[in-house]
A and B are shown apart, each in its own frame.
Chain A
Amino acid sequence: MNTTIPELIGRAHVAAWDNIEIASRIAARNALNFFDARKPDEVEKYPGVTPATEIFRLDGLRVFRYEGKTDTSGKLPMLLVPALINRSYIMDLMPGSSLAGALREAGLPVYLLDWGLPGPQHDHLPFSYFIDDVISMASDAVVRDCCCKKATDSICRTSGCNKISLLGYCMGGTMSLLHAALHPDRIARLSLLATPVNFHDDGVLSKWSRKDVFDVDAICDTIGAMDPALLQTSFQLMKPLSQYQKLKGLYESCTDPKALDSYLHLDKWVNDNIHVPRETYREYVKMTYQDNALVNNKISLGGRAVDLKTFTSPVLNIMARKDHIVPAESSRMLSEMVGGEVSEVMIDAGHIGIAMGRKARDMFAAVAKFHCGDKVNSHCIID
């Protein structure tokens, strides 16, 4: 309050130099976007590799149905929920290592919830809107598409035509879990991939976003929506040498076309980030990283208290041993928090490798088995 103008100018001067790299990146990207802007009515083509049909659209939000030759009758529809901070096509990034493609080949009717590219029109929306309203809208669209057009299907007769399975990845997993706790009668099975549950762990993000060092209100009130350049810089800083090691790996494997293809696909996804709406970001950081509300059982969404114990259906919790963003210990606590039986699968991969790549392929079979109604052995470690 007692800051003088010279002091403010001094701090502004320091800030300008400290943040010149981030500022230049944001400016360069904005300039490129300005010249390369899409027309407002232009719909982005689905960027994944498995053929998909759009079945629902609201603003930028879309739900896709994956097409395949395998018969899906008699199976519960499954909705994939990606993280709100990344693009959704990580679930279907490359032929041969696509989670969506593998599940569709296993005979499951698979759908993808694509959050789209959030803009300023979404900044006022609370976190509960995405967890409750958006996933409900997508579920309704899936039920309408999958069950109701096949009125003779056994699923329609047995489940009353309103149940689906959910699979959430990372932040999408946390959102799926909360949605399942809000609507336990609508979710038959839940799979979670690298999903943070305990946010006060030994992870770097947990340390950086503590209440005393990270003023989320100041950020949201000043810059509005969370800029992807800021998020991306933070993720890169978590492992400062990762960029160098990535390039070294590229140099060493440049004679292998498969490795090169994989690198290019992954690099495109990693650098294709989206804005996080202002109020959603504020609420998410406060609820999870600062208050650890899931573990403390103090979750409140849109004024409604949420109890994870109300969800009693089976859960498959898949963790990655080398995950530096969501340490395995952060997910493991889930078994004590939900009311249903939890099967755990640990994979020897990192945070992204859990959703695509060679090491994840065995896990795809486990997920398909689980969603077909079979039991998956707990604590099964896939190396």
Chain B
Amino acid sequence: MEIMENFYQDILKNARDMQNFWENRTSQMLDEYVKSQTFIGAMTKSLESSLDARKILDASVSRWAEMFNIVTKKEFDRLNQQTYDGNVRLQKIESGIQEMTRLMERQIELLAKIAKQPATAPAQATPEKTVKGKGAQGKREKA
């Protein structure tokens, strides 16, 4: 019984090995084939043919739409594109304003910090005009 089981296991293993071998071989062959000029040529021809078919269809549908004054999707698309461009412009304006606001806020913050700092007396520039002990703040009050 054990011999038979081993025998079947061997068969299964060999079958799997063979399957893997042929899979890899086929895969390699197909990979090479898609790189070949024959494949590229066939694909190009197929693509060109489908584009021709699409052009014929497009031309006839456009003519019918024109004849019966039907608004086509292409015209809606153009409208959408203009709206989108407008949105982008508005977005850029908004970003610009936000940046300006941010810079002004920073400036106000810095000015507030400077105003809070204890002022130091200027070094012997105009000693006669400085109020002793009060520094620049005192000078401003005097003025």
Chain A interface residues toward B at CB < 8 A: 8, 11-12, 14-16, 18-19, 22, 58-59, 119-124, 133, 137, 140, 144, 148, 151, 204, 207-208, 213-215, 218-219, 222-223, 237-241, 245
Contact = CB atoms under 8 A, between A and B. Distances in A.
A123 B76 CA distance: 12
Given A119-B80, A222-B58, A16 B95 contact: no
B129 interface: no
A122 B53 contact: no
Interface string B24-38: 001100110111000
Contacts of A148: 102
A216 B95 CA distance: 36
B14 interface: no
B53 A245 contact: no
Interface of B: 23, 26-27, 30-31, 33-35, 40-41, 43-44, 46-56, 58, 73, 76-77, 80-81, 83-84, 87-88, 91-92, 95, 98-99, 102, 106, 109
B73 A120 contact: yes
A8 B48 CA distance: 12
B46 A133 contact: no
Given A120-B77, A122-B81, 16 more contacts: A8-B52, A12-B53, A15-B53, A19-B53, A120-B80, A122-B84, A124-B81, A137-B95, A140-B99, A208-B43, A218-B48, A219-B47, A219-B51, A223-B54, A240-B33, A241-B27
A18 B46 contact: yes
B40 A133 contact: no
Contact of A240 (B30, B44, B54, B91): B30
B89 to A, nearest CB: 11
A151 B44 contact: no
28 contacts: A12-B52, A12-B56, A15-B52, A16-B53, A19-B50, A22-B50, A58-B87, A58-B88, A59-B87, A120-B81, A121-B80, A121-B84, A124-B81, A137-B91, A140-B95, A151-B106, A204-B35, A207-B40, A208-B43, A213-B40, A222-B55, A223-B51, A239-B27, A239-B34, A240-B27, A240-B33, A240-B34, A241-B23
Main secondary structure of the interface of B (DSSP, over half): helix
- Which 7 pairs show the lowest CB-CB distances between chains A and B? A15-B49, A121-B80, A120-B77, A240-B30, A121-B84, A12-B53, A15-B53
Given A144-B98, A222-B58, A18 B50 contact: yes
Contacts of A16: 53
Contact of B40 (A14, A19, A22, A208): A208
Contacts of A151: 106, 109
B21 to A, nearest CB: 14
A121 B53 contact: no
A330 to B, nearest CB: 15
Contacts of A140: 95, 99
A245 B20 CA distance: 11
Nearest to B109: A151
A120 B77 CA distance: 6
Contacts of A241: 23, 26-27, 30
A204 B50 CA distance: 22
B40 A123 contact: no
Contact of A222 (B31, B54, B84, B102): B54
Nearest to A18: B46
B100 to A, nearest CB: 13
A18 B49 contact: yes
A8 B56 contact: yes
A121 B83 contact: yes
A275 to B, nearest CB: 12
A18 B53 CA distance: 11
Given A137-B95, A204-B34, A208-B40, A59 B49 contact: no
B23 A245 contact: yes
A214 B88 contact: no
Given A120-B73, A222-B54, A12 B49 contact: yes
A240 B31 CA distance: 7
A11 B52 contact: yes
A85 B138 CA distance: 67
A285 to B, nearest CB: 13
Contact of A121 (B49, B77, B102): B77
Contacts of A218: 48, 51
Contacts of A238: 34
Contacts of B95: 137, 140
A238 B99 CA distance: 47
Given A223-B54, A241-B23, A241-B26, A11 B49 contact: yes
Contact of B46 (A19, A144, A214): A19
B52 A245 contact: no
